[in-house]
Chain A
Amino acid sequence: MDHPSAAAIFNKDEARTEWHDKALWYVRSKRDLSAKSIPEWEQLRQIASAIKAHALSNLDNYLVEFEENAKKNGITVHWAQDGKEHNEIVHSILKAKEVKKLVKSKSMLTEECHLNPYLEEKGIEVIDTDLGERIVQLSKEPPSHIVMPAIHKKKEDIGQLFHEKLGTEAGASDPQYLAEAARQHLRQNFLTADASLTGVNFAIAETGGVVVCTNEGNADLGVSLAPIHIASMGIEKLIPKAAHLGVFLRLLARSATGQPITSFSSHFHGPKPGSEMHIIIVDNGRTEQLGRDDFRKSLNCIRCGACMNTCPVYRRSGGHSYGYTVPGPIGSILSPGKDLKKYSSLPFASTLCGSCSDVCPVKIDIHTQLYKWRQIIAKEHELPWSKRQAMKVAGYMFSHPNMYRTAGKAGRAMLKVTPKTLVNGPWNVWGKSRDLPPPPKESFRDWYLKNRVKK
């Protein structure tokens, strides 16, 4: 389903749309307060953007340096060209140790690779341990937001789900109560898991380690108990030096939720004693994006989700309406590079208002990239035929002043004589919920000729 159709369904429940919009606007407001408490905020964004640009321009060397240092730290490093290879590597690590249960912390990359169904098919139980992720896992849905995976669900929905799956009291919807039930349920899983998998927020070339940020402490609880730690990362997570974390950790949580930093910012530089640690470095289309001059900067993304929280379209259409692992503005510039045809409606799911670009902590020119994807989509014939033809006609008309004036006059005249009920028929999408302006008797040009041009 394309974005407009899914969004139209979402908007059928107007009260719920408003609830969703307000929940996310609240997060955006917290971000504003938090960002504004730092006078050097704009400078930090500039520095962060430049560090990412630099890292991408030297990425091969940094990856090699990272691998070398990680090995010195006792970490096994794997390379995967795509999601399939990534999943196979994860499985081979788990199979070697006869792992039955894997606890996972949040990783958009494993969502992108569809790791969970792959492992489940192989008989491995996968438990997502981030509360939001556990909620969507139990309800068999994908996350609708990269930081708040269950933001689309009301507490009553979650109460019902937990009643069915975790045996909480029927009708209970108090967040404190539900979170406590999840804590008890997940703790049992932490204690019985024989492997853990985490995502990676940052990988440091200089030191050969990775940083994982969580508020719940779920990544660490998993890693610190289970004898195997697998960390999956996209190649773009590399930063040159540990000192650069000072910049990114100041920006990340403030942009994401308005917190000054996440509760836990964990620096993994090797397995705990008696355990093993693996890092899987994944491409899955990223090197291709690196080669696109206009879209390379999308690889700056640190997955804070601020562009989703600020996007007036995302807030009023929900993450699932995008149909891609990463929803919202950033997803709409990443997805066309993966499958132009399938995601051709996403770059148009924007008014190009530019709020995403202004909020982005690493200064990705998101709305400019949306505009550029639109040009490519039209060129590659992925636009609806009627729209394409309309633009051709408009282009021709606007190149010919006489034709433009005649058409304008005819249009105004027609609107004047047509009854409003007819104008706003089902063929007029504009008029479904909006009136057209009453047609004036003359154009500005006509007025100007009468009132300013001396005959």
Chain B
Amino acid sequence: MKVALFIPCYVDQFYPNVGIATLELLEKLGVEVDFPLDQTCCGQPMANSGCETDGIGAANLFVENFKDYDYIVGPTGSCVLHVRDHFNKIQQTEEVKKVRAKTYELCEFLVDVLKVEHIEAEFPHKVGLHLSCHGLRGMRLGQSSEIVGQDFSKMRGLLEKVKGIELIELDRKDECCGFGGTFAVTEEAVSVKMGKDRVADHVRHGAEVLTGGDMSCLMHLGGIISRKDQPLKVMHIAEILNGATL
């Protein structure tokens, strides 16, 4: 199985530790991982701003970088969703179709492809799981609270395998954090208020750590936590699953 690691641009630049945790976790699980060196961005920031056509170059480059792998795995629901749903704007060659179908969010890959039963990690802390919207409602990594049906969450399922972890319940289990790409800047007031409310929900329920599958949401929430000097730390889910300590 040839697996390529997809590290979103802002993770590459600002959160190398998340990339490292993802890589080490996959290696620990016996996967041979390759990191295509010429990767940049999936093109989502442009597309969500209405400038889909400006993202076409990035999309084509993505396909070029990843076309030769069986699976493409990234620690992000948001960018993976973009590859799957919005690479429909480039010409649908066999390569493009394959890349779209074979790009996985990390937790989804662990659950659906590797069928991981056991996680070698210990994290004796109270943790709040922020379910990022693109992973939740876009990729259906879990059941959103609006839908009537059996509740499930692939991320929660993995965290529950971590020794000593205590997952807290939130008042609003899957409300958006307010990041939303350029929304975070163009709608600054609402974005920040959403983030503050999301953080407050975690603080209210005694979380020591706020985790999630998308560093973009966590960057936004972490920025608010840091500015207000709140007693809470953000960590990407890959870090916890890889056995990080606080």
Chain A interface (Cβ within 8 Å of chain B)?
3-4, 7-8, 10-11, 14, 17-18, 21, 25, 32, 35-36, 38-39, 41-42, 310, 312-313, 316-317, 347-355, 357-359, 371, 374-379, 383, 387-388, 391-392, 394-401, 404, 408, 411-412, 429-430, 432-437, 439-440, 442-449, 452
Contacts and interface: CB of A to CB of B under 8 A. Distances in A.
B54 A392 contact: yes
Give the interface centre of B144, B187, B222, B224 by most chain A CB atoms within 10 Å. Answer: B187
B187 A383 contact: no
Interface string B2-22: 000001010111111111100
Given A375-B50, A404-B40, A447-B16, A434 B224 contact: yes
B222 to A, nearest CB: 7
A364 B57 CA distance: 31
A104 B128 CA distance: 49
B57 A387 contact: no
A87 B242 CA distance: 66
A39 B150 CA distance: 10
B58 to A, nearest CB: 4
B183 A348 contact: yes
A353 B180 contact: yes
B51 A395 contact: yes
B119 interface: no
**Number of chain B interface residues as a range:** 35 or more
A359 to B, nearest CB: 4
Contacts of B43: 395, 398
7 contacts: A358-B146, A378-B51, A392-B54, A395-B57, A408-B12, A437-B222, A449-B37
Contacts of B47: 371, 375
Chain A to chain B: the 6 pairs with minimum beta-carbon distance, closest first:
A399-B57, A351-B180, A395-B54, A434-B223, A378-B50, A444-B19
B180 A352 contact: yes
Nearest to B35: A448
B178 to A, nearest CB: 6
A355 B137 contact: yes
Given A395-B55, A429-B185, 15 more contacts: A8-B188, A353-B133, A358-B146, A371-B47, A374-B48, A375-B47, A404-B40, A433-B192, A434-B220, A437-B14, A444-B7, A444-B11, A445-B7, A447-B19, A452-B23
Contact of B147 (A3, A42, A353, A449): A42
A61 to B, nearest CB: 34
Interface string B200-238: 000000000000000000011011101100000000000
A379 to B, nearest CB: 8
A3 B183 CA distance: 12
Contact of A11 (B16, B189, B223): B189
A401 B197 contact: no
Nearest to B144: A358
A65 B126 CA distance: 62
A209 B243 CA distance: 65
Contact of A395 (B15, B19, B46, B138): B46
Given A310-B146, A429-B188, A434-B220, A371 B48 contact: yes
A357 B134 CA distance: 13
Interface string B57-73: 11011000000000000
Contacts of A440: 14-17
Give the interface centre of A375, A399, A408, A444 by most chain B CB atoms within 10 Å. Answer: A444
Interface string B177-197: 011111111111111111111
B49 interface: yes
B192 A348 contact: no
Contacts of B196: 433
A437 B236 CA distance: 14
Given A401-B39, A440-B15, A377 B50 contact: yes
A397 B45 CA distance: 12
Nearest to B11: A444
A434 B192 contact: yes
B28 interface: no
Dominant secondary structure of chain B at its interface with chain A: helix
A432 B187 contact: no
A430 B57 contact: no
Contact of B12 (A7, A392, A445): A445
Contacts, number: 225
A392 B53 CA distance: 9
A21 B219 CA distance: 24
A356 B23 CA distance: 35
Nearest to A38: B148
Contact of A435 (B55, B172, B193, B226): B226
A432 B192 contact: yes
A433 B37 CA distance: 35
Nearest to A368: B85
A377 B19 CA distance: 35
A444 B16 contact: yes
A312 B51 contact: no
B149 interface: yes
Contact of A4 (B12, B187, B222, B227): B187
B16 A7 contact: no
Contacts of A348: 50, 182-183, 186-187
Nearest to A383: B50
Contacts of B149: 42
A447 B35 CA distance: 11
Contacts of A392: 51, 54
Contacts of B11: 444
A14 B38 CA distance: 45
A317 B23 CA distance: 41
Given A8-B189, A17-B193, A412-B13, A351 B179 contact: yes
B158 interface: no
B91 interface: no
B61 A398 contact: yes
Give the interface centre of B17, B47, B52, B54 by most chain A CB atoms within 10 Å. Answer: B54
Give the interface centre of A18, A379, A446, A448 by most chain B CB atoms within 10 Å. Answer: A448
A375 B88 CA distance: 14
B189 A32 contact: no
B176 interface: yes
A139 B145 CA distance: 37
Contacts of B39: 401
B165 interface: no
